[in-house]
Every structure is written in structure tokens, then in C-alpha cells.
Structure 1
Amino acid sequence: MKTIGLIGGMGPMATVDLLKKIILSTDAQKDQDHIHVIVDNNTSIPDRSEAIWEKGPSPVPQLLESVNRLTDAGADFLIMSCNTAHYFLPKLQPHLRVPFLNMIEETAKYCVSKQINHVGLLASGGTYTSGIYNKIFANFNINVSVPDDAGKEICHKIIFEGVKAGNDNYNTQPFQSVLQKMRQEGAASFILGCTEMPLAIKTYNIAGHFIDATQVLAESAVRFAGAPCKSYL
């Protein structure tokens, strides 16, 4: 089997979540049936949203350090536990020595396989600003609804003031209103387009039909590594 290199630290709990999903998605009977995963939990990577808004330093130098550490350590292909960081992938690609599985492309392929052609996007402010989901999903003829500016801020806050801050008593009513508005626009399914979003949905017991981009990437990585996959999608 191929060895997975996981660029982590964005954030640490999201990294653990992706690794756990890889392990749970591997159809293994014993330790030796699992995939060799090398994790670089690089918490020094600057905030991706701040960089996109030109309010903070670029994460590219630290991302490249992780790329090289993992490749030198023996990773056969790379994945990244941050949706927003995929905005910077074009700047990484000229330096890659091994394949890179793109979380957003894999999620679009999953939607096509399920004949889903209209989704709502739940993401961080940086992901919304970057437009990466809209651009890639357009190539697959999938319509992406996004919240208005106030709704985007609400989605950003549940990530940063809820999950990242470890706030178990976060008020989700504004977030629920954002979901309802996108449903009215025709989005029956929602892309959890930030690695913390699945944690938010689970932590705060939010109901709906959600497509976990982290789970999609985990299962794609298991298959790409050459291991038998148990699907939870």
C-alpha cells in the first residue's frame, strides 16, 4: 500500500478528525492492515483566511516545509486537512514531487456520483472569499449556493468562536437560520467545506443532509493508497 502524507495543523483537531476518518474507513482486521500515515501537525502555518484577506502572512512557505518534510519521510502522496488551504495549492504544485489528492475535487466527484447538482456551502470566511468551491464545482456543472455577507460571517464564527474556541455552549440559532435560507434557495444538501464544520455539526447536534468533505477525502485517500474501503457516505 502507498503511504499517505497528511499536511496538518490547520487546525489540530481537524487533523485528528481526518486521521480518525482514514482509520475508520479502512477495512482492516488487524493493525498491519491499516495504511501507513505520516502526519505533520504543523501549527506554525499562518491563518489561511487572514492571508486571503491580505491581513496576515502567506501560509505557502510553511506549507512547502510540510510538503518537503512529508515527501522526504516517504509519503507516496499528499492530502491536506484544511479546505481553505487548497486555495494556495497552485503555488505548491510546481514544487510537488508526489501526487496530491484535492479535497474539493474529490467532493465534487462524489456529488456527481450521487447526482447532486445543487448544494449549499458551509465554510470559513476565507473559503468563501477564495471562491474555490464555486470554481471547481462549476467544472462539474454543480450549482453552489453561498450565504449573504451576514450569513458568511455567521458560518465563520461557528468555526472560530465555537469549534476552535472549544465553546460547547455556542448559540447555533443564527447558523440554523442560514441553513434555512439556503434550503429555500433550492439547496437540499450542504457541503461541510471547512474541516471544523463536521465537528460543529456533531458537537451542536445540527440536523440536515450534510456532505462531509473530510470524509470524502478520507475515503478517497484510502482507495488511492490501495486499501479496501468502508464507506460512511
Structure 2
Amino acid sequence: MKTIGIMGGMGPMATVDLMQKVIVATKAIKDQEHIHTVIDNNTNIPDRSECIFGKGPSPVPEMVKSAERLTTMGADVIIIGCNTAHYFLPEVQKLVKTPFINMIEETAKFCAEEGYRTLGLLASAGTCASGIYKKEFEKLGMTLLHPEEAEQEIIHEMIYDGVKATNYNYDAAPAQNVLRAMEQRGVEAFILGCTEVPVAVQMYKLQGCFVDATEVLAEKAVAWAGGEVISSLPRRSNK
């Protein structure tokens, strides 16, 4: 099988979550049947949202360094555990020979195949502002709703003050209220469009119908590498 390279550090817990999903998505009964995976947990990569808002340096140089290290370690394909980082992927790919699997594109394809028409995006402010999800979903004929401004602040705070701060006692009740409000506006399912959000769902026991973009990415990577996939993505019986 091929070797998967994980560009990590954005953030560290989300990197662990992505690797775990790759392992769980692989049908294997012994160590040797799992996929060879290499990780560069590069915490020197600048904050992606701050760059998009013009408040920080570009993450591209450090992302390229990570990609080059992963290539040297034998990666045949690279996956990025950070949704917002995909905004910079076209620029990075121009400077790197090793191919990437685009999490945003693959998540949109999955939702279209499952017959979803209206989805809600739970992501960092940078990911929402970048429009990378909205572009891909509208391209495939779906409607993607973002949280309203005040709601987005609540989601963003949960990501940064909750998950990134490893705060297990964070009060996520306001975030749960955001989900209920978006469902009332027609959202059929929520895209977990930040690698910290699926972690938040588990940490804070959020309730809803969720499509985990990290899970989509992990399963695509396993298939690309030649492994047999065990899928845990939600399937619709009324497609």
C-alpha cells in the first residue's frame, strides 16, 4: 500500500483525531495490515484565520516545509487536517510535487451523492470568510448556510477557547443553541468544517446530524492508499 502523509500541528489535537480516523477507517486485523502513515506536527505554521483577515503572516512557507519533510519521509499523498489551510492549498501545491487530497472537494462530493440539499457549516471564522466550502457546495447544486454573525462568534470561541485550549469544562450550551437555530432555518445536516469541531462534538456531547469532513478525508485517504475502508459516515435512507 501507499504511504499517507499528514500535515499536522493545525492544531495538535485535531492532528491526533485525523490519524485516529485513518486507523479506524482501515479494515485490518493486525498491525501489518494498517497503512504506513507519517506525520509532521508542525506547530510553527501561522494561524490561517489571522492571515485570511490580514492580521498575521502567510502559512504557506511553513506548509511547504511540512510537505517537503513528509515527502522526504516517503509520503505518496498528503492530507491536511485543517480546513482553513485548504484556502492556501492551490499555492502550496504549485510548490510541492507530492499530490494532496482536497478535503473540501471530497466533502462536497459526499454530500451531493447522499442527496443533501441544504447544509450548515460549522467552522472557524476564517474558513467561513474564505468561502472555500460555499464555492464547492454551490458548484454541485447545494445550499450551504453559515451561522449568523453572533452565532459565528460562539462557534469560533468554542473552537479556540474550548478545544484548542484543551478546556474540557467549557460551556458549549450556546453552541448547541446555534445548531437548533440553524435547523429551524432549514439545515438538514451540519458540515464539521473545522478539525476542532468533531473534537468539540465529542468533548461537549453536541447533538445533531453531522457530516465530519475529517472522516470524509480519512476514508478517501485510506482508499487512495489501497486499504479497505470501514465507513462510519452517515448514510441517508431516503436518498
Fold-level similarity (TM above 0.5)? yes
Partner of 1:31: 31
Partner of 2:111: 111
CA RMSD of aligned residues (A): 0.9
Are positions 1:14 and 2:5 aligned together? no
1:138 alignment partner AA: E
Shift of residue 104, structure 1, vs aligned partner: 0.7
Partner of 1:174: 174
Three-state SS of the structure 2 residue aligned to 1:13 is: helix
Three-state SS of the structure 2 residue aligned to 1:5 is: strand
Partner of 2:3: 3
Question: 1-side partners of 2:141 and 2:99: how far apart?
Answer: 25
Question: 2-side partners of 1:24 and 1:205: how far apart?
Answer: 20
Partner of 2:49: 49
Partner of 1:193: 193
Superposed, 1:17-166 pairs within 5 Å as 17-166=17-166
Partner of 2:237: none
Question: 2-side partners of 1:166 and 1:36: how far apart?
Answer: 28
Poorly superposed stretches of 4+, deviation over 4 Å = none
2:45 alignment partner AA: I
Shift of residue 135, structure 1, vs aligned partner: 0.8
Superposed CA offset, 1:161-220 (max 9, x none): 011112112122221221122111110200000000001011111111011111110001
Question: 2-side partners of 1:55 and 1:27: how far apart?
Answer: 43
1:35 alignment partner AA: I
Structure 1: runs of 5 or more not aligned: none
Superposed CA offset, 1:10-60 (max 9, x none): 000100000001011100111110101110000000011111111111100
Question: 2-side partners of 1:207 and 1:22: how far apart?
Answer: 24
Question: 2-side partners of 1:18 and 1:93: how far apart?
Answer: 21
Shift of residue 96, structure 1, vs aligned partner: 2.4
Shift of residue 140, structure 1, vs aligned partner: 1.2
1:182 alignment partner AA: M
Shift of residue 118, structure 1, vs aligned partner: 1.0
Three-state SS of the structure 1 residue aligned to 2:43 is: coil
Shift of residue 74, structure 1, vs aligned partner: 1.3
Question: 2-side partners of 1:119 and 1:223: how far apart?
Answer: 26
What is the aligned length?
Answer: 233
Superposed CA offset, 1:116-148 (max 9, x none): 121000000110111110011111111101011
Partner of 1:202: 202
Question: 2-side partners of 1:216 and 1:123: how far apart?
Answer: 16
Question: 2-side partners of 1:137 and 1:102: how far apart?
Answer: 14
Question: 1-side partners of 2:62 and 2:224: how far apart?
Answer: 25
Preserved CA contact (<8 Å) 2:64 2:92: yes
Three-state SS of the structure 1 residue aligned to 2:6 is: strand
Preserved CA contact (<8 Å) 2:7 2:80: yes
Shift of residue 95, structure 1, vs aligned partner: 1.4
Task: State the TM-score, normalized to the length of structure 2.
Answer: 0.95
Superposed CA offset, 1:80-138 (max 9, x none): 01000000011112112122100111111110121112100000011011111001111
